[in-house]
Amino acid sequence: MDDECRRLRRTSRRLERRYKRSRLADDRRSCVEHERKRHQTYRMKERAYWMSRVCSEAKHPQQLWRSLNTLMGASEKNNLLRNCLSAEEFADFFEAKVAAVRKATGNSAVSSELQPATEKFKFKFKVVVIYSMQHLFTLCCRTCQGLKLSFY
């Protein structure tokens, strides 16, 4: 966070306070436009930071992979697994919830039926990780001289 980011954040908060007091459409519009500009600047600075970091570590594979894992959120995946319920805990919770609903509704008749699944609810997955990595390395190679990478 540099001086420009701090200045943008202060201006955002000032515009937000002005809008909250006045509730005028012009104040809201200026606040929203400034927020968009601020977030665009943040994204640009973040992109530049990661590009310079990847390029500076191009000749040090261990540091490069550590940075790429951080960039892709690999370290967050381990933390997420520690905070999740186990399968048994989830099953116990679900059984207790179903029992509570059955107890609350008693012997009342079923009031609705589930509709069959339609095509719009089917999920389609595609592999994008390798292409994202190729794109990142290609961008890095354009700015870092002499680094040759092969993906196959």
Please tell me the total count of domains within the chain.
1
The answer to whether position 104 is within a domain reads no
Residue 17's pLDDT band, with cuts at 50, 70 and 90, is very high
* Residue where the block lists tokens 């519009």: 29
The answer to whether position 25 is within a domain reads yes
Q: Would the pTM count as exceeding 0.85? A: no
- Transcribe 83-109 into DSSP letters: HSPPHHHHHHHHHHHHHHHHHHHTTPP
Model confidence pLDDT, tens digit, residues 55-108: 888 888 888 888 888 877 766 555 555 667 778 888 888 899 988 888 888 777
The answer to whether position 129 is within a domain reads no
* Residue where the block lists tokens 């509709």: 115
Q: Is the pLDDT of residue 38 over 90?
A: yes
pLDDT of residue 81: 56
Instruction: Tell me which residue range forms the domain holding 87.
Output: 1-95+138-144
The answer to whether position 105 is within a domain reads no
User: Percent of the chain scored above 90 by pLDDT?
Assistant: 30
The answer to whether position 28 is within a domain reads yes
Residue range 28-51: mean pLDDT, rounded: 92
The answer to whether position 1 is within a domain reads yes
CB 64 within 8 A of CB 58: yes
- Transcribe 28-42 into DSSP letters: HHHHHHHHHHHHHHH
